[in-house]
Amino acid sequence: MPKDLLTGSEGLVGSAIKRHSSKERDLVCVTKKQVDLTDFSATVKMMEDLRPERVFHAAAAVGGLGGNMRHPGELFRKNILINFNVLEAARVTGVKRVLSYLSTCIFPDKVEYPMKETSLHEGPPHPSNFGYAHAKRMIDIQSRAYRMEYGCDFITAVGTNLFGLNDNFNLLDGHALPSLIHKTYLAKRDGKDLTVWGSGKPLREFVFADDIARLSLWAMDEYHEETPLMFSHGEETSIRELVELIAKKMNFQGKIIFDDSKADGQYRKPSDVSKLKKFQPDFKFTSLEKAIEQTTKWFTASYPNIRM
Ligand code: GFB
């Protein structure tokens, strides 16, 4: 049976790919406890031992707004090493296909909206994402440079604000949606107010990780272009609307406070989804309400055995 390798299999996107992987393929999952992807010799040895035909590269060092602002150096260093090592080890061991993940937060802060895949390098990213964004942009450069010189059929997909099961629910370093689910759970349990960072005005495209997994399996089979592909429905939701939806789904009746002393980060980063629609006109994204319902139910049932 043809073998696929999945990096980051315990993470948000990786665990979703595992849930959706096809029975016709042998999906081998490696976790950071098994292989240190920041170490090239360990990475290439793993690829030589496994000899996968294709790699879903979902491993990354990720922070939300808080984490990114506090650790620009660490996020740059770890992601540059992980990404270079995985793509170079894949190349030298003859892996046919690598699908890697970019993110809308790495796009230029001042760019024509909605953002097109081709505008990735047309200006600096928002300062809050400085280290992470520059490291992640190099996946696009490495994938395209390897395609030019070595004919590597490596592709990249752009995630927006992804969420779902097995997310990082850390209250300081997590992304907005999982951190807010965690905060709402604690505020309800302890009868406290729910404090939200910033004004609540920023807009984000929240996409369910299971939808990214389904699109990833399709792209690995069918997408062969050098330019990244936006994996999003293109619908924006304000942080305020998000919090109200989470509170409703978790039946939180307490007070919701917006703490203006905390950063808003980028105001919005809408993605142009016309290219995905051309390839996948009938793809149905999970509704935000249904996805949040599944995620909050999973969180409440799993707590405290969650990543936090
Ligand atoms: O997902 P997030 O942390 O990062 O969203 P970005 C930040 C937005 O949510 C800001 C508001 O407007 C915050 O003010 N927010 C409100 C909160 N309450 C909270 C909270 O409790 N925690 C957090 N984290 N935010 C991310 C990048 O940028 O975009 C990631 O940091 C990733 O690396 C992701 O690429 C796609 O959306 O600003």
Model pLDDT, residue 224: 98
**Residue 110 belongs to a domain:** yes
pTM of full prediction above 0.85? yes
CB of 64 within 6 A of ligand 1: the answer is yes
Return the ligand 1 atom nearest residue 104 CA. 36
Q: 267 catalytic, yes or no? A: no
**Residue 171 belongs to a domain:** no
Task: Judge contact between 176 and 65, C-beta under 8 A.
Answer: yes
Residue of the CA atom closest to atom 30 of ligand 1: 64
CA distance linking residue 97 with residue 119, whole number of Å: 24
CA distance linking residue 26 with residue 284, whole number of Å: 26
CB of 161 within 6 A of ligand 1: the answer is yes
Residues of the chain with pLDDT under 70: none
Structure confidence by residue, pLDDT tens digits, 44-88: 999 999 999 999 999 999 988 888 899 999 999 999 999 999 999
Structure confidence by residue, pLDDT tens digits, 292-308: 999 999 999 999 999 99
**Residue 34 belongs to a domain:** yes
Residue 257, classified by CB atoms within 10 Å of its CB into exposed (0-12), middle (13-18) or buried (19+), is: exposed
Q: How many CA atoms within 13 Å lie on the side-chain side of 255?
A: 5
CA distance linking residue 179 with residue 165, whole number of Å: 13
Model pLDDT, residue 64: 80
Task: Tell me the sheet residues that pair with 257.
Answer: 195
Task: Judge contact between 112 and 170, C-beta under 8 A.
Answer: no
| CA–centroid distance, residue 253 to ligand 1 (Å) | 24
CB of 90 within 6 A of ligand 1: the answer is no
Model pLDDT, residue 144: 98
CB of 266 within 6 A of ligand 1: the answer is yes
Task: Judge contact between 44 and 19, C-beta under 8 A.
Answer: no
CB of 72 within 6 A of ligand 1: the answer is no
CB of 182 within 6 A of ligand 1: the answer is no
Domain residue limits at 12: 3-163+205-231
Under 8 Å CB-to-CB from 305, ≥6 apart: which residues?
A: none
Residue of the CA atom closest to atom 23 of ligand 1: 176
Quote the tokens at residue 67.
């984490």
CB of 168 within 6 A of ligand 1: the answer is no
Sign of CA dihedral 8, 9, 11, 16: positive
Look at the chain and count its residues: 308
Determine phi and psi for 179, rounding to 5 degrees. -60, -40
| CA–centroid distance, residue 120 to ligand 1 (Å) | 20
**Residue 169 belongs to a domain:** no
Split into its structural domains, the chain has a count of 1
Mutation pick for ligand 1 pocket among 65, 102, 195, 244 (CB with most ligand atoms within 8 Å): 65
**Residue 271 belongs to a domain:** no
CA distance linking residue 175 with residue 161, whole number of Å: 8
DSSP labels, the chain: --EEEEESTTSHHHHHHHHH--TTSEEEEE-TTT--TTSHHHHHHHHHHH--SEEEE-------HHHHHH-HHHHHHHHHHHHHHHHHHHHHTT-SEEEEEEEGGGSBSS-PSSBPGGGTTSSPBPGGGHHHHHHHHHHHHHHHHHHHHH--EEEEEEE-EEE-TT-B--TTTS-HHHHHHHHHHHHHHHT-PEEEES-S--EE-EEEHHHHHHHHHHHHHH---SS-EE------EEHHHHHHHHHHHTT--S-EEEETTS----S---B--HHHHHH-TT--PPPHHHHHHHHHHHHHHHTTSSB-
Residue whose token pair is 């629609």: 277
Task: Judge contact between 160 and 288, C-beta under 8 A.
Answer: no
| CA–centroid distance, residue 279 to ligand 1 (Å) | 29
| CA–centroid distance, residue 64 to ligand 1 (Å) | 5
| CA–centroid distance, residue 147 to ligand 1 (Å) | 33
**Residue 188 belongs to a domain:** no
| CA–centroid distance, residue 176 to ligand 1 (Å) | 4
Model pLDDT, residue 65: 81
Cβ atoms within 10 Å of 48's Cβ, excluding its own: 12
Catalytic residue among 101, 132, 185, 223: 132
Quote the tokens at residue 96.
């046919």
Model pLDDT, residue 13: 96
**Residue 259 belongs to a domain:** no
For position 124, which CATH number holds? 3.40.50.720
**Residue 129 belongs to a domain:** yes
